[in-house]
């Protein structure tokens, strides 16, 4: 499909270039040969008149004046040169257009490959809970009799799987939602202290469960953006900090302002991230092997956070030492 699109685009490029070149060549040929044609016409007329005169009556010919044949030859040569030039342009523009069409289509090709990979990953993640649900229900149907306790256990397990499905579809929807940059929604005045407090409140049950203390050092700073989405980004980072830390391990949130940026740091003392994983953790569905085996998740949180921060024209970075913890830093325009 990519190849045929490349050929079509090449054909369009060549067509446009050749139409312009041909129009230009016709105009150029017309203008440049007009004078020659005029001379030819005049000389033909003179020849006709001269043929009716006796040699003695003939006026003297200027010395370097071109003959009629030479003029005709000159006109013919300009036509051949222009045709050759256009053929050369056709070949040159064809090659250049093919190359340019490839370059133009490359980002689309990459995007399509990315999208296909995303669909494959999403389907893969959705398949597991659906398959479990189905297997459990089919297993129960095969039983001749189900006791009340068994039925309740089945419903509880089904609900768990449905919860997983719900979480995953919510994450996918968030990805789709924050994928569309919309500057109109980035105009709320946000006090960072309030933003951090809102995010803290949302994850406090999770922190309590693991007896994790969250300390904040946030001065009075203000940015402009979308409160709801920035809270979502902070919640994602805080959830991860809790998820990838052992019980009672402290977490710190701090913020500071430099000349043009406001930076928010979230520091944990958890498992840390290896150097090989760091470049990939913001990719969709990426999970470090250790996380895969030890915690629940889909590898979508950080890509959602990154999308939100990018929509705010900011950046998100991480520094980490395995076994010592990680610091995620969000930088936003002040």
Beta strands in the chain (DSSP E): 188-191, 214-217, 222-225, 251-257, 261-268, 315-321, 325-333
Which residues in 291-320 contact ligand ADP (CB under 6 A)?
A: 291, 297-303
Structure tokens at 38: 């005029």
Cα separation of 279 and 217, whole Å? Answer: 28
Would you say 40 or 300 has its CB closer to ligand ADP?
Answer: 300
Would you say 10 or 307 has its CB closer to ligand ADP?
Answer: 307
268 touches ligand ADP by CB under 6 A: yes
241 touches ligand ADP by CB under 6 A: yes
Residues 125, 287, 312, 314: which binds ligand ADP (CB under 6 A)? 287
Would you say 162 or 321 has its CB closer to ligand ADP?
Answer: 321
- Identify the burial level of 98 via C-beta atoms within 10 angstroms of its C-beta, where 0-12 means exposed, 13-18 middle and 19 or more buried: middle
Size of the site for ligand ADP (CB under 6 A): 21
Minimal distance, residue 299 CB to ligand ADP, in Å: 4
Would you say 226 or 326 has its CB closer to ligand ADP?
Answer: 326
281 touches ligand ADP by CB under 6 A: yes
43 touches ligand ADP by CB under 6 A: no
Q: Closest Cα to residue 266, out of 275, 256, 254?
A: 254
Which residues in 114-173 contact ligand ADP (CB under 6 A)?
A: none
3-state secondary structure of 294: helix
Minimal distance, residue 199 CB to ligand ADP, in Å: 14
Would you tell me how many other CB atoms lie within 10 Å of the CB of residue 268? 26
- Tell me the chain's radius of gyration from C-alpha atoms: 38
Q: Are 328 and 265 in contact (CB under 8 A)?
A: yes
Residues 129, 225, 270, 314: which binds ligand ADP (CB under 6 A)? 270
Structure tokens at 139: 């297993």
User: Tokens 């003939």 — which residue?
Assistant: 58
Residues 10, 249, 326, 331: which binds ligand ADP (CB under 6 A)? 326
Interface residues toward ligand ADP, by CB under 6 A:
240-241, 244, 268, 270-273, 281, 286-288, 291, 297-303, 326
């Amino acid at each position: 499909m990519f190849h045929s699109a490349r050929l079509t685009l090449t054909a369009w490029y060549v067509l446009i270039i050749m139409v312009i070149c041909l129009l230009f060549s016709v105009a150029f040929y017309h203008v440049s040969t007009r004078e020659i044609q005029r001379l030819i016409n005049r000389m033909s007329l003179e020849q006709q008149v001269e043929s009716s005169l006796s040699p003695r009556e003939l006026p003297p010919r200027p010395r370097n004046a071109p003959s009629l044949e030479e003029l005709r030859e000159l006109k013919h040569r300009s036509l051949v040169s222009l045709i050759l030039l256009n053929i050369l342009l056709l070949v040159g523009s064809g090659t250049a257009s093919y190359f340019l069409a490839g370059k133009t289509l490359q980002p689309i090709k990459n995007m399509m490959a990315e999208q296909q990979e995303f669909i494959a990953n999403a389907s893969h993640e959705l398949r597991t809970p659906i398959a479990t649900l189905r297997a459990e229900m089919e297993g129960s149907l095969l039983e001749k009799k189900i006791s009340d306790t068994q039925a309740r256990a089945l419903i509880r397990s089904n609900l768990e799987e449905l919860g997983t499905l719900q979480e995953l579809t919510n994450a996918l929807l968030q990805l789709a939602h924050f994928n569309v940059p919309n500057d109109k929604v980035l105009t709320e005045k946000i006090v960072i202290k309030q933003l951090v407090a809102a995010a803290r409140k949302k994850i406090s049950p999770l922190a309590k469960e693991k007896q994790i203390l969250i300390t904040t050092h946030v001065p009075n700073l203000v940015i402009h953006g979308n409160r709801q989405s920035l809270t979502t980004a902070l919640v994602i980072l805080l959830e991860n900090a809790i998820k990838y830390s052992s019980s009672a391990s402290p977490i710190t949130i701090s913020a500071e302002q430099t000349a043009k940026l406001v930076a928010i740091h979230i520091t944990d003392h958890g498992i840390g991230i290896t150097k090989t994983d760091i470049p990939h953790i913001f990719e969709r569905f990426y999970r470090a092997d250790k996380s895969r085996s030890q915690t629940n998740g889909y590898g979508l949180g950080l890509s959602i956070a990154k999308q939100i921060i990018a929509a705010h024209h900011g950046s998100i970075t991480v520094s980490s030492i395995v076994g010592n913890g990680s610091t995620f830093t969000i930088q936003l325009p002040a």
